[in-house]
DNA sequence: CGAGTGATTGACTTAGATCAATGACCGTGG
DNA sequence: CCACGGTCATTGATCTAAGTCAATCACTCG
């Protein structure tokens, strides 16, 4: 789990860990934010309850992700956070963080930079979802995430995870990859996919 | 067009406007970033060229959006920006902005807050795309975007725009809305959709 | 060694994309 | 003032890619 490297050491030192049972609440809409969180394992969903009492899921965060960044600048949380599965989270105290940003503008900049990069990544993921064809979606993913050599993509998680990222069922992804392998467009290795040649346009 | 209200007045004063013809380049990958941009009209696409020479679109930004926030903290742009249609952009000088953040930490905070909110919005939009059924996708959209009363949603653009936002064809959206109206779940007004009652769960 | 999960492939179904046509509306230029 | 070109809104018909259900095999982990 890559720790939040942009966090000032002083803040990291003050972090507390908390374990959540499935269904347990981390915070509720309207609560006063005391910390923001990094999820070290499990799953936490952010949701709101609509007028008719139904829960509307805003986001499901997994291990390695941070949530409630926005609440650093707000006096209340704008949604609930509930563990979807057993989870452990690291809580970084809001006060310490804001103080660090005040003192050390490098730290504040690092935070902004992280957010800005995240915005770009998310935008790209949305753009990806605008591609209807599974095949082209996978192609787009591979092109965008090709490493330095522009040819190979290292898979972080399982193919099932990737499928979820791409908004495909895992079956659809397997089939699409298989087709691309058959057509000689890619090669699959252990945790790696290599682009062989683009098809003629 | 809601101007970027979080921008310090000093920076806004220094902004320059630029008009782009379709296909004209705003900046190129590798260029040194001198400004970041707000699109006041038209469309600008951010893209990279992959190893095989194909253009990979990372994002298409429309009027009201800002791009290249991340380049404020980078020494080079990481993608190209090209007008997809005639566009006008407002350029905010990077140096002035960073200087303002240095001097005025309120301004820096406002920037972070804007980014953090954007991150949350984008995450929610991705979550929305994970919903496969057009009907449930629309329901999710309506629930999330219901105004203060929790019942009515004000449409900003056309229904076609909304369809694109939701990742549906406009035909699919029309049909889905028509079905929801027929079933008495919503009501359509001029630029407004009102939730009438939730269906039984 | 069994339970749980990932990877993979087959068969079938369907929701939504695609193609197509129409009417309403709006600005604009003669 | 009206005709015309453009876009939005809407609905119908058709098709297909991807979802769904299902089964198998390979691993890994207590």
Partnered with residue A93 across adjacent β-strands are A35
Question: Residue A155 in contact with residue A192, Cβ under 8 Å?
Answer: yes
Q: Do B119 and A115 touch (CB under 8 A)?
A: yes
Residue B2 pLDDT exceeds 60: no
State pLDDT tens for residues B148-176: 888 899 999 999 999 999 999 999 999 99
CA distance A135 to A185: 11
Q: Where are the beta strands (DSSP E) in B64-115?
A: 66-67, 80-83, 87-93
Residue A1 pLDDT exceeds 80: no
Nearest-CA distance from B16 to chain A in Å? Answer: 22
CA distance A88 to A17: 7
| Chain B residues close to A100, C-beta within 8 Å | none
On whether any CB of chain A is under 8 Å from the CB of B144, the answer is: yes
State pLDDT tens for residues B44-86: 999 999 888 889 999 999 999 999 999 999 999 999 999 998 9
Considering only the beta carbons, identify the residue of B102, B125, B150 that sits closest to A51. B150
State pLDDT tens for residues A7-60: 988 899 999 999 999 999 999 999 999 999 999 999 999 999 988 889 999 999
The spacing between the Cα labelled CA in B150 and the C1' in C7, in angstroms, equals 44
| Chain B residues close to A115, C-beta within 8 Å | 112, 115-116, 118-119
In terms of average pLDDT, the best of A142-156, B7-21, B107-121 is B107-121
State pLDDT tens for residues B176-200: 999 999 999 999 988 899 999 765 4
pLDDT confidence tier of residue B142, bands split at 50, 70 and 90 = very high
Residue closest to B101 by CA, chosen among A51, A9, A116, A188? A116
pLDDT confidence tier of residue A201, bands split at 50, 70 and 90 = very low
Q: Do A120 and B72 touch (CB under 8 A)?
A: no
Q: Is A71 helix (H, G, I), strand (E, B) or coil?
A: helix
Residue B128 burial by Cβ neighbours in a 10 Å radius (0-12, 13-18, 19+): buried
> Can you tell me the mean pLDDT for A113-134?
97
The spacing between the Cα labelled CA in B21 and the C1' in D4, in angstroms, equals 27
CA distance B93 to B81: 17
Domains, in order of start, for chain B:
9-110 (2.60.120.10), 131-195 (1.10.10.10)
Tokens representing A153 are 């993509």
The spacing between the Cα labelled CA in B164 and the C1' in C16, in angstroms, equals 14
On whether any CB of chain B is under 8 Å from the CB of A75, the answer is: no
As a dihedral over the C-alpha atoms of residue A11, residue A12, residue A14, residue A18, rounded to 10 degrees, the angle is 130
Beta strand pairing call for B43-49 and A16-20 = unpaired
Considering only the beta carbons, identify the residue of B119, B127, B201 that sits closest to A119. B119
Considering only the beta carbons, identify the residue of A50, A73, A108 that sits closest to B116. A73
pLDDT given for residue A79 in this prediction: 96
CA distances from A138 to A44, A123, A195 (A): 27, 17, 11
Tokens representing A118 are 């995240």
Which of B116, B170, B185 has the most A C-beta neighbours within 10 Å, making it the best mutation to test the interface with A? B116
Partnered with residue A62 across adjacent β-strands are A43
Residue A103 pLDDT exceeds 60: yes
pTM confidence score? 0.94
Q: What is the CA radius of gyration of chain A?
A: 20
Partnered with residue A25 across adjacent β-strands are A82
Quick count: other Cβ atoms within 10 Å of Cβ B4?
Answer: 18
pLDDT given for residue B201 in this prediction: 46
């Amino acid at each position: 789990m890559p720790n939040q490297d942009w966090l000032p050491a002083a803040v990291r030192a003050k972090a507390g860990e908390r374990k959540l049972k499935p269904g347990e609440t981390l915070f509720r809409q309207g609560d006063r934010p005391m910390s923001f969180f990094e999820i070290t394992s499990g799953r936490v969903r952010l949701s709101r309850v609509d007028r008719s009492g139904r829960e509307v899921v805003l986001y499901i965060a997994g291990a390695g992700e941070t949530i409630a960044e926005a609440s650093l600048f707000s006096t209340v949380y704008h949604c609930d956070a509930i563990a979807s599965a057993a989870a452990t989270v690291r809580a970084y105290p809001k006060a310490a963080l804001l103080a660090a940003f005040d003192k050390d503008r490098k730290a504040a900049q690092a935070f902004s930079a992280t957010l800005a990069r995240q915005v770009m990544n998310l935008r790209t993921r949305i753009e990806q979802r605008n591609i209807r064809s599974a095949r082209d979606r996978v192609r787009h993913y591979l092109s965008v995430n090709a490493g330095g050599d522009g040819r190979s993509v290292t898979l972080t998680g399982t193919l099932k995870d990737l499928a979820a990222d791409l908004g495909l069922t895992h079956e659809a992804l397997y089939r699409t990859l298989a087709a691309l392998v058959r057509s000689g467009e890619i090669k699959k290795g252990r945790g790696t996919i290599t682009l062989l040649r683009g098809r003629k346009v």
